A and B are shown apart, each in its own frame.
Chain A
Amino acid sequence: MISQLTGNERVLAALTFLILLCVGVTMAAAGRDDLIGTHGWVIAVSAIAGAVALLRAYDAPEPSPARLSEYYDEPSKVGIILTLVWGVIGMLVGVWIAALLAWPELTIDAAWASFGRLRPVHTSGVIFGFGGNALIATSFHVLQRTTRARLPDQFSPWFVLLGYNLFCVLAASGYLMGITQSKEYAEPEWYADIWLVMVWVVYFSIYIRTLLRRKEPHIYVANWYYMAFILVVALLHIINNLAVPISFGHAKSYSLFSGVQDAMTQWWYGHNAVAFFLTAGFLGMMYYYLPKRAGRPIYSYRTSIISFWGITFMYMWAGSHHLHYTALPHWVQSLGMAFSVVLLVPSWASAGNALLTLNGAWHKVRDDAVLRFMMLAAIFYGLATFEGSFMAIRAVNSLSHYTDWTIGHVHAGALGWVAMITYGSLYALTPWLWKRPALYSAKLVEWHFWLALSGTVVYVFAMWNSGVIQGLMWRTYNDSGTLSYSFVDSLVAMHPYYIARAFGGLLFLAGAVIALYNIVMTIRSPVPVASESATDIPLGLQPATPIAQAGE
């Protein structure tokens, strides 16, 4: 990767590592009595490792100007591998903690190995490690193809990808040591949050600089979603993480807001992390890879417009449905419920648009497991958004909230939608990027497909059952007008479902391992000669024949 940097970019990289090293050492010194010191060392060692790699290739010849006539895909390639590896790690931890809920004595007597510290490793590992890397890797690829412009430089994509993964490492290692803000899906402490903001600013700058140099007059739908993902996540992240550290030598900080205001801000963040990280970004993915793989244009351009702005506007009101019947003022709860219900319209418009795009390509869905992954993702997207709107209704929420039903709902979205569209897209993308005729094994994709589907179904059904039973047991009265069940009665009733859930997760994890193996073997397979596509290059350098773009 270093030989691809120009002379100036190598200087920039060296400077970045130097600054990181200084920051790391300062943190290590200022926080020598605190856990932040350990993270200082993590940062310093990362900077040194990067600098050593840089110096070893520093004198390599500069890249030839011919590179400018090709898209810059190296960061996407590394991003794909990182996605698959984080996926396996995050899901493995998920299966493990699922097993701990069924058999709490499985673990060892060490703080880092307890459920409470491992759970955010699972959630951050799959959302940020797996999902975030998938978004970064695919966004760079989609951005270049739909604008027909090369990324603006060679340094900033690496800064974003590697910097983002440093954030993920700080997050996960921090949880194990006990560093957390406790805000769900925003657990990393202040210094990691500041670092993520810097990475994010560069990410946005890559996007906008490429868009401004585009050769296509229109910005394609996929990019609307990727841009909404980048911009709104920045807004949410900054506001929800406002906090005062107790000193610069301590990891601990106290959030600026408290009580009811903090709760509303947190769930405004929490729900829109779902909306703009796990929905908008992956819709961007779907809007490019599904039509490409199906060989069909997007069914309706106008539906795309309505659903995009519907999602962007309405999701931001929906967060308060996480706080029904709480101390949050009633008017905010009602607003949240109303918008959550109406949100079904743009959500189903997107899902329908995706499925109707497959009209004329259903025979491919039957034969091609890669496309089938994407089709299934669209179906689960439709199911999960329907369920979400339903659960946001106050009366339903009174039963479902605080129970495993919520967990089931989240996993219908995360496994059924996010992971399925990601695996489908990565399976499509890998042979294109590495210029291989096909994946190493189509049969393994089939295996993965059925493992993923059965794993998701087992998981979601287990959690629906346990959630509804739990909710009903908590509110059941006996004839004399007192509560029928103690809390622990409801816990005992969950046991079989917790086992089933761990089993469903295990099936899904097996699929993730197969995906990693299949893609690595694809990359390691021999390169066929003369596979260069004459059309997969930036515009201005290619033959004059127009090429149909997805969605145009």
Chain B
Amino acid sequence: MFNFHYRLERNAIGFVLAIIVVASIGGFIEIAPLFTIDDTVEKAPDMRVYTPLEIAGRNIYIREGCYACHSQMIRTLRDEVERYGPYSLAVESKYDHPMLWGSKRTGPDLARVGGKYSNDWMTAHLNNPRDVVPESNMPAYRWLLRNQLETGDLGEHLSALRAVGVPYTDDMIANAPKDAVGQANPDTDLATGVIERYGEKTDVSLFDGNQGSVTEMDALVAYLQVLGHLTDAAHTTPQNEVE
């Protein structure tokens, strides 16, 4: 073996090829089957896609680095299930490009935070967390209420997502900017379109409390309120024993 290596280390190209081959094996064996083994991702016929406003909110979540302190992955551990709800299923992040499972909980897990707090609480908390949770060390995101949401290019966002596999229809793509405005302005004609395209369960609200304008706060709160609600799969399928 050492004699073989003695020859190998005299051959630069051979050494390069050896590194590539040896280093590729692990990733190939662990990643490729995740695409081919069917039960890697559960089936969830009721799964809906994110609305344009929720996508915009998700992008703000990414932009502000929320994932650095909040996970969206409830592990199969008893205390996590009791604290946060049913453990996360792979299907729940099927449309997450990229996933936001996170790696650190400076703040709590958010996989099922949707519906847990009111829109008013969410807005107040994001504006200055210490107004509602005095012990919090989360940054205050005051600019979210000041910034108008950029909605003009949401159609392009949806088409890019369709290109990577999210089933958006032509109708959804064409109406994306209007739907973003509609979801944050209930009781308007635009709001009706959102329900038509994304279903009855879509949350149409004054997320930031203001009618008319659509702020970045509207988008982020809309996103946080849908977390854990794209599908009921985690609540309807029996969960395995937790540890």
A-binding segment of B31-39, B177-185, B189-197, B203-211: B31-39
B159 (CB) vs chain A CBs: closest residue:
A246
A175 (CB) vs chain B CBs: closest residue:
B65
* A214, A244, A246, A313 pick with most chain B CB within 10 angstroms: A246
A488 to B129, CA, bound (A): 12
Q: Which residues of A contact B98 (CB under 8 A)?
A: 181-183, 254-255, 257-258, 262, 266
A151 to B156, CA, bound (A): 46
Q: Is A227 in contact with B23, judged by CB distance below 8 angstroms?
A: no
Q: Is B76 in contact with A325, judged by CB distance below 8 angstroms?
A: yes
In the complex, whether B64 has a CB less than 8 A from a CB of chain A is: yes
Question: Which residues in chain A, 214-273, are within 8 Å of chain B measured between CB atoms?
Answer: 214, 217-219, 224, 227-228, 231-232, 235, 239, 244-247, 250, 252-266, 268
Q: Is A231 in contact with B165, judged by CB distance below 8 angstroms?
A: no
Q: Which residues of A contact B153 (CB under 8 A)?
A: 34, 246-247, 250
Q: Is B161 in contact with A329, judged by CB distance below 8 angstroms?
A: no
A312 to B41, CA, bound (A): 30
A302 to B87, CA, bound (A): 47
Q: Is A407 in contact with B137, judged by CB distance below 8 angstroms?
A: no
A435 to B30, CA, bound (A): 50
Report the minimum CB–CB distance from B232 to chain A (whole Å).
16
Q: Which residues of B contact A407 (CB under 8 A)?
A: 104
A103 (CB) vs chain B CBs: closest residue:
B137
Q: Is B94 in contact with A180, judged by CB distance below 8 angstroms?
A: no
Q: Which residues of B contact A316 (CB under 8 A)?
A: 23-27
Given contacts A104-B138, A116-B139, A491-B135, contact A260 B99 (CB under 8 A): yes
A114 to B69, CA, bound (A): 13
A119 to B67, CA, bound (A): 11
Q: Is A327 in contact with B143, judged by CB distance below 8 angstroms?
A: no
B6 (CB) vs chain A CBs: closest residue:
A218
A100 to B65, CA, bound (A): 15
In the complex, whether A111 has a CB less than 8 A from a CB of chain B is: yes
A485 to B74, CA, bound (A): 18
Report the minimum CB–CB distance from B89 to chain A (whole Å).
6
A260 to B203, CA, bound (A): 26
In the complex, whether B88 has a CB less than 8 A from a CB of chain A is: yes
Q: Is B93 in contact with A252, judged by CB distance below 8 angstroms?
A: no
Report the minimum CB–CB distance from A212 to chain B (whole Å).
6
Q: Is B63 in contact with A180, judged by CB distance below 8 angstroms?
A: yes
Partner of B89, one of A327, A487, A498: A327
A323 (CB) vs chain B CBs: closest residue:
B101
Q: Is A339 in contact with B26, judged by CB distance below 8 angstroms?
A: yes
In the complex, whether A450 has a CB less than 8 A from a CB of chain B is: no
Q: Is B31 in contact with A114, judged by CB distance below 8 angstroms?
A: no
Report the minimum CB–CB distance from B233 to chain A (whole Å).
11
A235 to B25, CA, bound (A): 12
In the complex, whether A319 has a CB less than 8 A from a CB of chain B is: yes
Q: Is B31 in contact with A261, judged by CB distance below 8 angstroms?
A: yes
Partner of B16, one of A183, A227, A250: A227
Q: Is B156 in contact with A258, judged by CB distance below 8 angstroms?
A: no
Q: Which residues of A contact B90 (CB under 8 A)?
A: 259-260, 327-328
Question: Which residues in chain B, 1-53, are within 8 Å of chain A measured between CB atoms?
Answer: 2, 5-6, 9-10, 12-13, 15-16, 19-20, 22-27, 29-31, 34-35, 37, 40-41
Can you report 15 A-B residue pairs in the complex whose CB atoms are below 8 A from each other?
A: A116-B69, A119-B65, A179-B63, A182-B62, A208-B13, A219-B10, A244-B164, A250-B156, A259-B94, A260-B40, A264-B30, A323-B101, A407-B104, A477-B79, A498-B137
3 interchain residue pairs of minimum CB distance: A116-B65, A316-B26, A317-B26
B residues apposed to A, CB below 8 Å: 2, 5-6, 9-10, 12-13, 15-16, 19-20, 22-27, 29-31, 34-35, 37, 40-41, 59, 62-69, 71, 73, 75-77, 79-80, 82-83, 87-108, 129-130, 133, 135-143, 153, 156-157, 159-161, 163-166, 243
Task: Add 17 more A-B contacts to A120-B68, A208-B12, A402-B102 (CB < 8 A).
Answer: A109-B142, A115-B139, A116-B64, A119-B65, A231-B16, A231-B23, A260-B99, A318-B26, A325-B77, A326-B101, A329-B40, A335-B29, A402-B103, A406-B103, A474-B80, A491-B135, A492-B135
